[in-house]
């Protein structure tokens, strides 16, 4: 368990006012919690530019009727099997599917997998949620 350290922060009054507005909108109970999240956000961003290990989720929306689309998505996922933890397929309606792929691995490889999947013809929307393994943040 980490030790909690208290320290002072000096800020311009208008910047602090904007910060307070922001944290109220985001439902933080206090400045410290909001500040901790900002720091962690920066640390996670830094991890995505390193050669370490990151975690995240890729989401894809596609029409499964498109010829060869499902095959291509499956082939790509087999090629990147070592960094895929799990995947979930949901049938949104008669045509559209939502696929959520949980990933853990090297940031460059994870981004390559996301780009390869998103760029398959027929994928309507794709996102990569860049998160962390929880270590060092």
Cβ 70 to Ni ion shortest distance, Å: 9
- Closest-by-Cβ residue to Ni ion is 97
For Ni ion, give the closer residue by CB, 97 or 128.
97
- Report the SS3 class of residue 52: coil
Q: Does 124 bind Ni ion (CB under 5 A)?
A: no
Angle at 57 between CA 99 and CA 23, to 5 degrees: 125
Q: Does 97 bind Ni ion (CB under 5 A)?
A: yes
Cβ 97 to Ni ion shortest distance, Å: 3
Cβ 85 to Ni ion shortest distance, Å: 20
Report how far residue 116's alpha carbon sits from residue 100's, in angstroms, rounded to the nearest whole number. Answer: 15
Cβ 91 to Ni ion shortest distance, Å: 4
Distances (CA, A) of 48 to 43, 115, 131: 9, 15, 8
Q: Does 91 bind Ni ion (CB under 5 A)?
A: yes
Start-end of H helices in 1-137: 13-25, 31-47, 69-79, 107-118
Structure-token match 């956000």, residue found: 41
Per-residue x/- track, 34-73, Ni ion (CB under 5 A):
------------------------------x---------
The two structure tokens encoding residue 108: 């460059």
Size of the site for Ni ion (CB under 5 A): 3
Q: Which residues bind Ni ion (CB under 5 A)?
A: 64, 91, 97
């Amino acid at each position: 368990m980490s030790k909690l350290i208290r320290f002072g922060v000096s800020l311009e009054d208008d910047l602090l006012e904007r910060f307070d507005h922001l944290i109220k909108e985001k439902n933080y109970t206090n400045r410290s919690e909001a500040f901790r999240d900002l720091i962690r956000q920066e640390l996670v961003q830094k991890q995505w530019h390193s050669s370490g290990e990151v975690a995240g989720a890729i989401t894809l929306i596609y029409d499964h009727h498109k010829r060869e689309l499902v095959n291509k998505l499956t082939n790509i996922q087999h090629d990147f099997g070592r960094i895929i933890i799990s995947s979930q397929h949901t049938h949104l309606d008669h045509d559209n599917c939502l696929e959520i792929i949980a990933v853990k691995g090297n940031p460059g490889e994870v981004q390559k997998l996301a780009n390869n999947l998103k760029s398959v013809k027929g994928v309507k929307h794709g996102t990569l949620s860049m998160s962390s393994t929880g270590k060092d943040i």
